[in-house]
Amino acid sequence: MVKFMLKCFVLVSILLFGVLIGMQQANQGMLKMKGYNDPELSGAFSVENEQTGELEASILGSTVTSQDLQKKQEQLEQIEAFNFFSQIGKKFAGVVSDGASSLMTYLSNLINGILE
C-alpha cells in the first residue's frame, strides 16, 4: 500500500510539474507570436531573489514565501480536522469486525457441539 501511494504521489508530482512547464512554454509562445513583451502576460512560475537574500516564488501569479508556508502550516496544526465519512467508516469497520468475530465464535461452538 505504501509503495502504491508513493508511486501515485510521484506520478502526480511529475504530471503537475509537466503542466507548469507546458503553461510556461505556452506563455513564451504567446510572447513570440505577439512580437512584444506584454507585462500582463506573466509566466506560470518564476523564482526571484529579494534584497534580503530570500527567494520569492510566484506560481500562477500568486507569490509564495516561506513565511506564508509557515503560517499555513500553523493554521493546519491548529485546526482539528473532523472527517464525517472517516468516522462512519471506522464505526462500520468496528461493527463488521465484531460481527465477524461473534459469527466465528458461534460457528466454532456449533461445530464443537456437533463433534462431541
pLDDT digits (tens, 9 = 90+) for 55-82: 677 776 667 666 667 777 777 777 766 6
- Range among 5-9, 41-45, 85-89 with highest mean pLDDT value: 5-9
Q: Where are the domains of the chain?
A: 1-39, 44-81, 83-116
- Count CB neighbours of 41 within 10 A: 11
**Local confidence band at 103 (pLDDT 50, 70, 90 cut-offs):** very high
Q: Which residue has the higher pLDDT, 57 or 5?
A: 5
Q: Does residue 42 contact residue 58 with C-beta atoms inside 8 Å?
A: yes
Query: What is the sign of the dihedral through the CA atoms of 43, 62, 5 and 86?
Result: negative
Residue 53 zone, left/alpha/beta (φ > 0; ψ -120 to 50; rest): left
Mean pLDDT over each residue of the chain, to the nearest integer: 80
